Structure 1
Amino acid sequence: MTDLADRSWRLIRDEPRDGPTQMALEEIAAETALEDDLRTVRVYSWEPSTLSLGYRQDADTVDWTYCEQEGIDVTRRQTGGGGIYHDRYADISYTIVAPADEVPGNLMDCYELFCEPVLAGLRDMGIDADFAAVEQSAIYHPSCYLRDINPAHDVVAPASAGENAQKISGNAQYRQRDVVIQHGSISYDLEAERHVGVFETDLEPETFTDRVTSIHDQTGLDREDAVDTLTTALGEWCDADDGDWRDDELEAAGDLAERKFGADAWIRNRDVLEASEP
């Protein structure tokens, strides 16, 4: 349990939502942390399937035709890095939101703190997971899972394999309005064809499976059990109470999703539409 456990936290096991709404909810959780002294941890999934672009990623790296044909939405994250394909089954995502003055100011120390429950959850599933022991060079930079593997925030398994360990989780964080938001993607299973298909490249699916592993590959654990285990680890880490989004938060997230995370101006060029006048 972290020292942050003496604060007020809520644990949300979120329902599947579209990508723009999932990203908007993180910013709304940041406001709640500051204004209502309530921090958030949550586990969630994506529906429909979504490609989330890194903050500075060039939109020209996306195979827009493939995404349209396969019914894959595209949004853009606030965090950097490469794009990630998410869906309701193969991906398990999480978010941690807390005021910046309560967590380490050093980025690496903050990663170490916020990844504690992720590592605990994977280990509770019986997976030999840890931060990458060594850096690995990039295979394809626009893809998060095929970028260089960084020991600071990339989680691999089995950790005992050293430089041969494969990536199982990517994690990223950003600071906004004096709040730290960390989110991450954990591979429950591998959808290699879609992970490479969403990009404007001729990469073979084997390129992905050679670099990435999954909970299913490591343990064969049922997805629902994997979600339960991760959710429990997050909740125990900060001693969170079970909670949910308030109606006003969902309404605000819907507005933000429409004018930012779901808007072509943001997805293509990082331009944010102004809120409409009342």
Structure 2
Amino acid sequence: MDGSDRPLADCEWRLIREESWSGPMNMALDEIAAETAADGGPRTLRVYQWDPSTLSLGYHQDPDTVDWDHCEAADIDVTRRQTGGGGIYHDTHGDISYSIVAPSDDLPSDLFDSYHLLCRPLLDAFDRLGVSAQFAETEQPAAYAPSCYLRERHPAHDVVVEADGTERKVSGNAQHRRTDAIVQHGSLTYTVRPERHLAVFSDEVDTETFRERVTGVDDHADVTRRETVAALEAALEAWADASEGTWTDDELARARERAAEKYASDEWTKRRPGRRESSE
């Protein structure tokens, strides 16, 4: 069925307010949430931090693009996402992350339509904050492909703020489309920290290039990070008519096991491009 014909509010949605987890645990929780939704449980909306700071690699990203020595010295975790794109540096202040997880049958099969449906609460959150964000309308070539925020812009899932005639990226979003469930997750930039963001990569990249292409909420609105998180949570809750929820003990136990066995392992994080998982 086409998910656009089915009101989201007719389904059971839970909102899990901002929590702090390690990088491997955040990725494992997304996967467990997909299994829960596919098995008939609640759909999940979640907002989260990464603690310690984490570099999340795109699914096909070459591990040679990472400055492993710097990440180790700076106590930065490295994990790999199920979604594509470039690497993203997440810390507990500059980054705000979210996930939306639902059965595949709930959502449009067309990728573009699915992004535009699932990004509605994201755009609503920016509107609540007084930030004029929108999907990217102009093309921009990649400046440094290993970094998500410096790749070419995509109108389906890159959200920008226009200032002085220039679009700057404020949010990147990506989907992992399983046969039975869809996970969309993304990052909002609360404040731009180019030096920290670029230091995790093996190549040197001009911080001015990052500044020219990326913006943060605090560049456009006099709001705290906590107020920004609250606006995102309120927008997600209203969009799906969600109830406040939590993880079950079983979900947390499975997520911890999945994080240790998969998302924290060198086999997963440092694997070479072209290698696929043996099973879903």
TM above 0.5: yes
State the TM-score, normalizing by the size of structure 2.
0.94
1:161 deviates by 5.4
Q: Deviations over 1:231-275 (max 9, x none)?
A: 00001000000001111100000000001111011001167699x
Query: Could you list the runs of 5+ residues in structure 1 that have no partner in the other structure?
Result: none
Aligned match of 1:253 = 255
- Equivalences for 1:172-191 in 2 at 5 Å? 172-191=174-193
Aligned to 2:88: 84
Correspondence for 1:194? 196
Paired residue total: 271
Query: Cα offset for 1:134?
Result: 1.2
Alpha-carbon separation, structure 1, partners of 2:105 and 2:33: 16
* Structure 2 Cα separation of the partners of residues 24 and 246 of structure 1: 14
Structure 1 length-normalised TM: 0.94
In the alignment, structure 2 segments of 5+ residues that lack a partner are 1-5
Question: Does structure 1 residue 97 correspond to structure 2 residue 77?
Answer: no
**Aligned-partner SS, 1:14:** strand
Aligned residues of 1:51 and 1:73 also touching (Cα < 8 A): yes
Q: Return the match for 1:16 from 13, 20, 43.
A: 20
1:211 counterpart residue number: 213
Query: Any residues of structure 2 matched to 1:44-193 within 5 Å, and which?
Result: 44-158=48-162, 164-193=166-195
Task: Give secondary structure in 2 for the equivalent of 1:165.
Answer: strand
Task: Find the aligned partners of 1:68 and 1:204 in 2 and give their Cα distance.
Answer: 22
Runs of 4+ in structure 1 deviating by more than 4 angstroms, as ranges, are 270-274
Please give the per-residue CA displacement for 1:108-133, whole angstroms capped at 9, x wherever unaligned.
00000000000010111000000001
Asked if structure 2 preserves the Cα contact closer than 8 Å seen for 1:57 and 1:82, the reply is: yes
* Aligned AA (1:47): D
Partners of 1:50 and 1:251 in 2: how far apart?
22
Aligned residues with identical type, % of pairs? 53
Cα distance in structure 1, aligned partners of 2:277 and 2:258:
10
SS in 1 for 2:183: strand
What is the SS of the residue equivalent to 2:205? coil
Give the C-alpha shift of residue 34 in structure 1: 1.6
Contact 1:145 1:167 survives alignment (8 Å): yes
Q: Secondary structure at the match of 1:184?
A: strand
8 Å CA contact retained: 1:259, 1:273: no
In structure 2, C-alpha distance between the alignment counterparts of 1:90 and 1:5, rounded to whole Å: 32
One-letter code of the match for 1:13? R
**What's the offset of the Cα at 1:16?**
0.6
